[in-house]
A = this chain, B = another copy of it.
Amino acid sequence: MMIEKFTIKSKEKINLNDFDPEYTDQLSKDSIKEEHLKLQTKFEELQDVLYASKKFALLIVLQGMDCSGKDGTVKKALMGVNPNGFNVESFKEPTPEELGHDYLWRVHKAAPQKGDITVFNRSYYEDVLVTRVHKIIDDETALNRFTQINKFEKYLVDNHTVVIKFFLHISKDFQKKKLESRLEIPEKHWKFSAADLTERKFWDKYQQYYEDVLYNCSTEEAPWHIVPSNNRWFRDYFVLKTIVNNLEKLNLNYPEIDGNIQDLIKQVKDSD
């Protein structure tokens, strides 16, 4: 798969129009079924050895417009995840206590410990996106934050946290259809917020500032992945494959046991 094309290189200028949200690499849902099942099994194995070895942590950052499918990615792409050692942190509007601190304070607190996987459903990137769209911060502050964020991520990586960042890329028309369907299905009404309609008016601004983020905050340690997300099955496949690729690179091994195995087995056998 052409994951490479969607992995943004450091200082690669981005125009989101060059990335088709409908893209599926000429694959179909059926054609990848078998590979997808293998990826799920592989992911379960890798999570187990990650958890057992306690050498690395994995942080997955999910960003995207409303209706891009952040919740769905957690539920579907990571299906089969062992909830032991797996966390999802959803960052909403900051509380007064959080606002009293610097913007990385609350996310750093929620970072995974070694052995664990944590998904940030929205993240510190909102502090250079929604805040910028609504002019809570100016361009200079945004630029400073890009540097701070890059340094923060480098620090995490240097301390054995793998950081994988996904931008779930959808079209404006796709968002409209999703908003409609949320209103048409009573069981989905709760997912609709009038604020989504307001934010939709800022679509172009968001896209522009996302391009800025993708350009400024793709580093060698922690590049952004643009995920074509109009087709949910492709999104799930892409995300899972990227995670598996990254975990495989770690060459994880199960830890050895302290002491002599035969002695220990004998002790167990001889116990009451």
Contact = CB atoms under 8 A, between A and B. Distances in A.
Contacts of A265: 180, 183-184
A78 B80 CA distance: 11
A164 to B, nearest CB: 16
B121 A84 contact: yes
Nearest to A75: B82
Contacts of A197: 264, 267-268, 271
A30 interface: no
Interface string A152-183: 00000000000000000000100010011001
Contacts of A83: 74-75, 78, 81, 83, 86, 88, 119
A268 B82 contact: no
Contacts of A52: 187, 190-191
A132 interface: no
Interface in A61-94: 71, 74-75, 78, 81-88, 90
The 8 A-B residue pairs with the shortest CB-CB distance in the complex, in nearest-first order? A52-B190, A189-B257, A179-B268, A75-B82, A183-B265, A190-B255, A83-B88, A71-B84
Nearest to A267: B197
Interface of A: 48-49, 52-53, 71, 74-75, 78, 81-88, 90, 119, 121, 172, 176, 179-180, 183-184, 186-187, 189-192, 194, 197, 200-201, 203, 254-259, 261, 264-265, 267-269, 271-272
Contact of A254 (B71, B190, B200): B190
B254 A183 contact: no
A262 to B, nearest CB: 9
Contacts of A269: 176, 180
Nearest to A263: B183
A80 B183 CA distance: 26
A267 B200 CA distance: 11
Contacts of A88: 83-86
Nearest to A117: B83
A61 to B, nearest CB: 15
